[in-house]
Structure 1
Amino acid sequence: MNNDNEIKDIIARVNRIPVWSLPYSFLIIIGIGYFFTFYDISDIGFAMPAISTQFHIGASTSLFLALSVGLIGYAFGSYIIGSIADVFGRYKSMIITMALTAIGSFGDAISFNVPELTIARFVTGLGLGADLNLVSGYISEFAPPQWRGRITVYTFIIGILGQAITPFIALGLVPVYYNGWRYLFAIGGIIAVIALLLRFELPESPRWLAIKSGNLEKAKSVLKMMEDTAEKRFGKLPDPHPEDVDLKEYEQKFPTLYLFEGKTGKIYSKRLTILVFMWFFWYIGNYAFLGDAATMLADAHISLASSILYLAIGAIGYPVGAIIMALTADKYERKYVIFFDTVIWFIGLIIFSLKTEPTLLAGSFMASLALGMYLQVAYTYTAENYPTRARASGFALTDGIGHIGGALGAIILPIIVASYTFKTGFIFIAITGLIAGLISLLGPRASRETLEKISS
């Protein structure tokens, strides 16, 4: 049997597995890493008011430190480490990302001036941006087609708790202790170290091992473990069909080039364009809400503690949204689910813009619910749309360029609120989120399909 036939056989054997074929503890390990990711995305917004006061920096510098530096790191880390993952493997790259986030988070905690904090935020961003990219692709390469959405959401439920719990931790630290913001970052660093140590238990993707590394024996070893686990849970596995596997993505090119050259390049360039604009418009509102909402409420003469409390109560919507997606993610076509999620976002932000105590609570809950519903389904959909040999770098380009919208949104929202009204600003980010949902409808179908079929 030549290499091509062996590779086809390995991929066909992976595709025939109808259940999650790794220990369930691995989902928890991946979820803990996600927990830190969403913890850090939230903690900077709650820490910045105290940092601004202690470091004597203005609003524009505060915004730059809080979001722009981290997002620049996201973009660089996502693409550079994403490309490394396509060339050198998912496993090694996922170790690198969590190590960077741990270093960056402890660096945040011990920063005593603006330059130190800037460097720490950039390092944290390098790891976070790449990790969001890698985890979705990694899970997609192990999960069976009919359960791919649900399984990715299971890990996301653990992760999104980080975004739900962070406001309560911040409420107990930032307004109470002078160094409360430092403790907030240090807790994140401890979580990142735990996630890093646990990740050493994870295997490499057999798809990547077969297609990119050429280490067929290692791929077969991991696959044998997967099949043994699957047979215990499912019984006799269906027969593999290697004749259905197309190896056109096996050419040895630099991963990014594969997305732009020849006939396949036209397909992936179109998908890249759709997904970049989808994430660009989504991130405008996402980062504006997460990074600016507490400050905007404080500027509207609501105390910092009350502002955090409103957002903390609303943050209960994050895990609720993720649980809803765990029950529905694979029942309906992914892009329609994404659109529905953005409709919930739109309604929630319209309600939030009314700025009364009941509407702030209800709107915060609905916006958080939409975020919990949207993120992992959209991450999964993005990863599914690229081929195995360029999945990480394709996702990285999409997410990295899309984050430009996040940087703009975080800066634009305060300008709109200052120039017009609180209501106008939050209606604006409600609309940008809905636009993201409309753009997603232009993408291909992906639910319950093999990764190779989606890539064709």
Structure 2
Amino acid sequence: MSRDAFTVLDSTKLTPFHRKVTILSAAGMFLDGYDITVIAVALPAVTKQWHLSALMVGALTASAVIGMFLGALVFGRLTDRLGRKKMYLFNLIGFVVFAVLAACAQDAWQLLICRFLLGLALGADYTISTSLLAEYAPAKRRGSLMCRLGATWFVGAACTYAFALLLLPLGDIAWRVMLVLGAVFALIVLWMRRSIPESPRWLAAQGHQQEADAVLTELGEGEVRPSVGVAQAQTSPWRTMFTFPLLRMVLFCCGFWFCYTLAYYGITLYTPTILKQVTSSQAGIYTGSLIIALLGVTGAVIGVNLVDRIGRRPLLIVGFAGMLTALAILALLRNPGLAVVVALLSIAVLFANSGPGIVNLVYPSEVFPTSVRATANGLGTAVSRIGAIIGTLLLPTLIKAWGLHNVLWIFVAAGATGLLIAYTLAPETKGKTLEELTEHPLNAKGTSENAEAAVG
């Protein structure tokens, strides 16, 4: 494939179209963060109303995450086969329908099923939005644009607690209203996404040269040379990914993302439950949860501004190191007060979100070729959801059996493992076009200067 064909996309100048794709892709991530986190607000109410066991509480929390696991695997492959745009629109229908059905649930099993189905759509959006944005983003700005997806996820999560405070007078029905609000927002985003054209990189990889040329010409105002390339060989995506040098990147992306979600989801989806261990004030619980979520947003903003300056690798390593340190200190403390717990969890989430929490959406979209990009994103998302499932499904039972103090060491171990994976396997990919990144095998400790040896 000719690199020059995509010059209009890899220009360092951001166009209104780049901003539009980023905003509409980020809107999906906002909804992901919002819809996933709303269960944390619902749990205290439904547990009391429906007299739920610890096991059912874990199942309800994990249901959407399990759906994401399957949705990412299935729809990641479909996105590579059917195209980015079709799936970009289709998955948002699930956001609307299943959020409304979840809001109408009358018992725990109805809510669990609806949350699972909603998770299918959430998992799909991870693979679709990241692949589409990566294929449109300019090389020099790709990291910061894609990290904004991660940052917007955390904004959605923070808005969950902000709305919880605002809707506190509604009592036990507040979470139902919040789900309906999410469905309304998804409907608006669905309407606006209609105008985004198919990815020209995907079209070229499928052999649709004329259609790819037409999109590029429209975006480049007629300045793009015709004939952008030839179709890529249609081999099995799984066979492609599980052979060297891509296998190394599969292990890297899946490994660090798994460790991050194991700790992050366990903390954030149970933040009110964790804080309830140290205070009985409902307002204090929601306020503390909001503070932690806002520090998470701050961390993501820091990462967005640094990822194209210092690179992906330093952010990943420092992020895991900071998260590990804060969680280890909290695990060593006996009977900490609310302020200490909120402060240390805030620091842990800040570091986590400034590194692994945002580059997890960047690396899989950069280090894999167009023909398997969405499939690889789906695999990474699915494996990360296993970490999230462990961190959510088992946490209530483990806290009850072992106590919060001992459970924290699981998160410490996840942070330490993630740091080891980041240090030994993380490549540096900043500043390179997607075509450059898929021409050479990756150097795990590469820099932007020597990255001619980077990425396959």
- Distance in 2 between the 1:298 and 1:273 partners? 37
Structure 1 residue 362 corresponds to structure 2 residue 343: yes
* Displacement after TM superposition at 1:370 (Å): 2.7
Structure 1 residue 425 corresponds to structure 2 residue 407: yes
In angstroms, what is the RMSD of aligned CA positions?
A: 2.6
Match of 1:373 among 336, 340, 354: 354
Structure 1 residue 124 corresponds to structure 2 residue 107: no
Closer, same or farther in 2 for the Cα pair 1:373/1:253, shift >3 Å? same
**Amino acid paired to 2:237:** P
**Amino acid paired to 1:203:** P
* Displacement after TM superposition at 1:100 (Å): 1.0
Closer, same or farther in 2 for the Cα pair 1:319/1:399, shift >3 Å? same
Deviations along 1:186-210, one digit per CA (max 9) or x if unpaired, are 1111121111111112121110011
Give the equivalent residue in structure 2 for 1:227: 220
Which deviates more, 289-298 or 196-205? Answer: 289-298
- Distance in 2 between the 1:285 and 1:443 partners? 19
* Displacement after TM superposition at 1:15 (Å): 6.2
- Distance in 1 between the 2:4 and 2:151 partners? 31
Give the equivalent residue in structure 2 for 1:453: 436
Structure 1 residue 59 corresponds to structure 2 residue 54: yes
Match of 1:266 among 241, 244, 253: 244
Structure 1 residue 335 corresponds to structure 2 residue 329: no
Identity %: 26
**Contact 2:134/2:142, CA 8 A, preserved across alignment:** yes
Q: Which runs of 5+ in 2 are unaligned?
A: 439-455
**What secondary structure does 1:266 align onto?**
coil
Give the equivalent residue in structure 1 for 2:253: 275
* Displacement after TM superposition at 1:99 (Å): 1.3
**Contact 1:76/1:400, CA 8 A, preserved across alignment:** yes
- Distance in 2 between the 1:388 and 1:444 partners? 19
Equivalences for 1:45-194 in 2 at 5 Å? 45-67=40-62, 69-173=63-167, 176-194=170-188
**Amino acid paired to 1:166:** T
**Amino acid paired to 2:48:** T
Give the equivalent residue in structure 1 for 2:392: 410
**Contact 2:149/2:361, CA 8 A, preserved across alignment:** no
**What secondary structure does 1:179 align onto?**
helix
* Displacement after TM superposition at 1:158 (Å): 3.8
**What secondary structure does 2:362 align onto?**
helix
Deviations along 1:81-100, one digit per CA (max 9) or x if unpaired, are 11111011111111122111
**Contact 2:278/2:338, CA 8 A, preserved across alignment:** no
- Distance in 1 between the 2:110 and 2:239 partners? 36
* Displacement after TM superposition at 1:393 (Å): 0.5
Structure 1 residue 250 corresponds to structure 2 residue 235: no
Which deviates more, 296-305 or 424-433? Answer: 296-305
**Amino acid paired to 1:209:** L
**What secondary structure does 1:431 align onto?**
helix
**Amino acid paired to 1:63:** G
TM-score if structure 2 supplies the norm length?
0.87
Closer, same or farther in 2 for the Cα pair 1:121/1:255, shift >3 Å? same
Give the equivalent residue in structure 2 for 1:4: none
Closer, same or farther in 2 for the Cα pair 1:187/1:122, shift >3 Å? same
Closer, same or farther in 2 for the Cα pair 1:161/1:432, shift >3 Å? same
Closer, same or farther in 2 for the Cα pair 1:303/1:411, shift >3 Å? farther
Match of 2:32 among 32, 37, 57: 37
Deviations along 1:222-249, one digit per CA (max 9) or x if unpaired, are 11233239x9xxxxx9x9998xx9x7x8
* Displacement after TM superposition at 1:103 (Å): 1.4
Match of 2:326 among 344, 348, 355: 348
Give the equivalent residue in structure 1 for 2:371: 389
Match of 1:284 among 248, 255, 262: 262
* Displacement after TM superposition at 1:36 (Å): 0.9
- Distance in 1 between the 2:141 and 2:172 partners? 47
- Distance in 2 between the 1:352 and 1:165 partners? 26
**Contact 1:38/1:160, CA 8 A, preserved across alignment:** yes
**Amino acid paired to 2:342:** L
Q: Which runs of 5+ in 1 are unaligned?
A: 1-6, 232-236
Deviations along 1:139-196, one digit per CA (max 9) or x if unpaired, are 1111122211111233444443211221121233357423112112111111211111
**Amino acid paired to 2:135:** E
Deviations along 1:315-359, one digit per CA (max 9) or x if unpaired, are 211321222122211122312211111222223334555432321
TM-score if structure 1 supplies the norm length?
0.87
**Contact 1:342/1:370, CA 8 A, preserved across alignment:** yes
Q: Matched residue pairs, number? A: 433
**What secondary structure does 1:8 align onto?**
coil
**Amino acid paired to 1:331:** R
**What secondary structure does 1:228 align onto?**
coil
**Contact 2:265/2:391, CA 8 A, preserved across alignment:** yes
Deviations along 1:251-284, one digit per CA (max 9) or x if unpaired, are 1124333223xxxx22222221222221222111
**Contact 1:168/1:312, CA 8 A, preserved across alignment:** yes
Give the equivalent residue in structure 1 for 2:285: 307
Closer, same or farther in 2 for the Cα pair 1:280/1:27, shift >3 Å? closer
- Distance in 2 between the 1:423 and 1:173 partners? 32
- Distance in 1 between the 2:262 and 2:93 partners? 28
Closer, same or farther in 2 for the Cα pair 1:410/1:342, shift >3 Å? same
Closer, same or farther in 2 for the Cα pair 1:277/1:157, shift >3 Å? closer
